[in-house]
Amino acid sequence: MKRIEFLKTLGLGLSAGGILSSCMGDGDVVPVSEIADFGNALKIPETIYNATSLASKSLKDTIINGKSSSYLGYGPGILGPTIRIKSGNSLNLNFKNQLSEHTNIHWHGLVIPAEMDGHPDQMVMANNSFDYKFAVNQAAGTNWYHPHIHEITGRQVTQGLAGLFIVESNEEKALNLPTESFEIPLIIQDKRFNDDGTIKYKPNMDEKMNGYMGETILVNGTFSPFLKVSSNLYRFRVLNGSSARIYNLALSNAASFYIIGSDGGILEKPEVVSSVLLSSGERLDILIDFSKVPLNSEIFLESNQFSGMGTAQGTQKFKILKFIVNKQGESNFKVPLSLIPIQKLSGSTQNRNFSLKMKMLSLNGGMHRINNKVYKSGRIDETVSLGATETWEFDNSTGDEPHPMHIHGVHFQVVARSGGRNEIQPHEKGWKDTVLVAPKEKVQVIIKFTQKGKFVFHCHNLEHEDDGMMLNFEVK
367-380 pLDDT, tens digit per residue, is 899 999 999 999 99
pLDDT at 32: 41
pLDDT tens digits along 176-232: 999 999 999 999 999 999 999 999 999 998 899 999 999 899 999 999 999 999 999
Q: What is the mean pLDDT of the chain?
A: 91
In the predicted model, is pLDDT for residue 265 greater than 80?
A: yes
Segment 436-456 shows an average pLDDT of: 98
pLDDT at 420: 86
Distance in angstroms (rounded) separating the CA atoms of residues 138 and 343: 13
Q: How far apart are CA 234 and CA 341, in angstroms?
A: 22
Q: How far is CA 167 from CA 85, 86, 264, in A?
A: 5, 6, 10
- In this predicted structure, the answer to whether residue 165 has a pLDDT above a threshold of 60 is yes
Q: Which amino acid is at 27?
A: G
- Residue 37 confidence class, pLDDT cut points 50, 70, 90: confident
State how far the Cα of 97 lies from the Cα of 389, in Å rounded to an integer: 37
Res 65: pLDDT: 80
* Phi, psi for 428 (deg, rounded to 5): -100, 10
Give phi and psi for 290, each to the nearest 5: -95, 10
Report residue 36's pLDDT band, with 50, 70 and 90 as the boundaries.
Answer: low
- Residue 2 scores a pLDDT above 80: no
User: Looking at residue 67, what is its pLDDT?
Assistant: 86
Residue 136 is predicted with a pLDDT of 98
Helical spans, DSSP H, in 26-180? 153-158, 170-173
What CA–CA distance (Å, rounded) separates 207 from 24? 7
In 3D space, the residue among 326, 178, 315 whose CA is nearest the CA of residue 257 turns out to be: 178
The model's pLDDT over 288-327, given as tens digits with 9 standing for 90+, comes to: 999 999 999 999 999 999 999 998 899 889 999 999 999 9
Q: In the beta sheet, which residues pair with residue 71?
A: 59
Strand partners, 417: 443
Give the residue from 1, 15, 64 showing the smallest Cα distance to 217.
Answer: 64
Contact yes or no for 295/450 (Cβ under 8 A): no
The pLDDT of residue 358 is 87
- Residue 33 pLDDT greater than 60, yes or no: no
When pLDDT is averaged across residues 159-171 and rounded to a whole number, the result is 97
Q: What is the pLDDT of residue 31?
A: 46
Judge whether 434 and 406 are in contact, CB under 8 Å.
Answer: yes
pLDDT > 90: percent of the chain: 85
Express each pLDDT in 5-32 by its tens digit.
Answer: 433 344 333 333 344 433 334 444 444 4
Report which residue type is found at 474. E
77, pLDDT greater than 90: no
- Looking at this protein, which amino acid is placed at residue 211? G
pLDDT, tens digit, 9 for 90 and up, residues 317-366? 999 999 999 999 888 899 999 999 999 999 999 999 999 998 876 556 68
Least confident of 4-13, 254-263, 407-416: 4-13
pLDDT beyond 50 at 3 = no
Domains, the chain, ordered by start = 47-172 (2.60.40.420), 176-327 (2.60.40.420), 350-475 (2.60.40.420)
Alpha-carbon dihedral sign for residues 205, 471, 201, 304: negative
